Structure 1
Amino acid sequence: MKALCGFLTRWLLEILPGVFVGGPSARVRAALWEDVRRYAGMGCALLAYNPDNEQGFAFETHDHKWRPIDHEGVTLIHRPSDRVAAPSPSCEGWSKASKRRRFGSR
């Protein structure tokens, strides 16, 4: 990771540990992103940049839980839920009030 950080500081500023900002050309940005993806290993990476679109920015990710998705022309970040869905209990014959008390829903 240190080698990657040193490599990126040639073209970008490191404003926080592991956070790089800059305004390289599209060609340099694409080359940097390829190197980041190659050297990131088991780590994750997120690239945000300003293309020529109405939204004014775009995202690319590498091995990240958050994924950019297109929703009617607008790029959104899909964040998967960390909550584990509880199995729905089958409580036939119980009153609604009893079900609420037992399973904590109101």
Structure 2
Amino acid sequence: MVVIVLTACPVGLRGDLTRWLLEIAPGVFVGHIDARIRDRLWERIIDLLRDGRAVMVYSDRNEQHMAFKVYGADWSPVDCDGLQLIKRPKEAKEGSFVGTPRKGWSNASKYRKARKFSKRN
């Protein structure tokens, strides 16, 4: 089983893939092809894909029973003790300081102190 997901790809590439796979949604192709055709299709995708992205997931003989390839995306496959995982880049939100703790007391701590001091009076 092979699943290919394309983003921002040329129309001609989608037409080429429909010869071998079924397009079940825009840019999502599914089918059952052998490894030789799968590898050649992946090479064709890389050749024709300009600034788009491609992800291919296929059946494989390993513990996960699948493997995947990624092209043109920020996410990258990483081998972690024999398991293939996807590593996402850490995105910083606007106005937040990633990695630096905020100064001062938390709201929960403030409420707890206020409750503690109000019981004394």
Post-superposition offset of 1:44: 0.7
Confirm or deny that 1:6 pairs with 2:15: yes
- Could you give the per-residue CA deviations for residues 24-63 of structure 1, whole angstroms, max 9, x where no partner exists? 1000000000000110111010010011112100110101
**What is the aligned-residue RMSD (CA, Å)?**
2.0
Residue identity matched to 1:34: E
Residue identity matched to 2:89: P
TM-score by length of 2: 0.70
The alignment partner of 1:55 has SS state of: coil
Q: Tell me how many residue pairs correspond in the alignment.
A: 95
Unaligned 5+ runs, structure 2: 1-9, 108-121
Confirm or deny that 1:73 pairs with 2:82: yes
Residue equivalent to 2:119? none
Pick the structure with greater CA Rg: 2
Q: Which has the higher contact order (CA 8 A, sep 6+)?
A: 2
Aligned equivalents of 2:23, 2:91: Cα separation in 1: 30
Aligned equivalents of 2:27, 2:64: Cα separation in 1: 26
- Percent identical among aligned pairs is 41
Residue equivalent to 2:34? 25
